Amino acid sequence: MSRQQEKSRQTMKELMEAATSLFASKGFTATSVAEITSRAGYAKGSFYRHWESKGQLFLQIVEHKMRQYRDARDRRIADAGNLEEAMRIIWDFLETMVSDSEWARVFLEFTVHSMRDEELCAELRRSQYRLSEDIFAELVRPFVTTDYPAEKIGALNTALFEGFMVHNALEAGVLELEDVREAAVALAVAKGTKQ
């Protein structure tokens, strides 16, 4: 790698770190590109050499975080012996995401923000940015022993998880993650395992 490429990579890393910190403390919408570049010690032009918008930067941060989460999950899921074990491993992974409450709030804020931007919304729907029903289906498919579509198990779990994230962000306090986790596992096992 050339010296210029290394410097560019370092600039991106520092801008992403500054943005992550600001998003966590102020939220996505309240954070400006100027604040990100100022925090990282760069001019605004440095930002726009790497990303078209704050939304594109956020997607890259999400992709990086999801890759870290998925690497840990994928190493464990290979050892699952049945659907229940696979579901518990998946929900362990989801729990790590929920436990980072600041990040969960920012992600929800960004999700709502992206609904007003067709291109950003389409990009966010891609599986690399979230635990989509497609990814979920691929994870559980080897363990499903009924005719019930793995995609439906995936969609149900994605809906339960994303619904819990909203519930948790609102600090409703009625449901705990364990309640949702056990309901999701029971539902998947009931639909996807021959009785």
Mean pLDDT (10-residue bins), the chain, 195 residues? 88 96 93 97 95 93 83 86 95 86 82 86 71 82 96 91 86 88 96 92
Tokens coding 83: 């659907």
Burial class (CB in 10 A: 0-12, 13-18, 19+), 47: buried
How confident is the model at residue 3, as a pLDDT? Answer: 87
The class of domain 1-50 in CATH terms is mainly alpha
Distance separating alpha carbons of residues 122 and 128, to the nearest angstrom: 12
How confident is the model at residue 67, as a pLDDT? Answer: 82
How confident is the model at residue 15, as a pLDDT? Answer: 97
**CATH of 54-192 among 1.10.357, 1.10.3470, 1.20.1540, 2.60.40:** 1.10.357
SS3 state of residue 100: coil
All structural domains of the chain with their residue ranges:
1-50, 54-192
How confident is the model at residue 129, as a pLDDT? Answer: 60
How far is CA 110 from each of CA 28, 42, 124, 161, 188, rounded to the nearest angstrom? 6, 24, 9, 17, 29
How confident is the model at residue 51, as a pLDDT? Answer: 96
C-alpha closest to that of 83 among 195, 179, 160, 164: 195
* 131: number of Cβ within 10 Å: 22
Alpha helix segments (H runs only) across 78-114 = 83-99, 101-114
Q: Are 60 and 130 in contact (CB under 8 A)?
A: no
Q: Would you say the CATH fold of 54-192 matches that of 1-50?
A: no
* Beta strands per DSSP E along 46-157: none
The pTM assigned to this predicted structure is: 0.78
SS3 state of residue 174: coil
How confident is the model at residue 23, as a pLDDT? Answer: 93
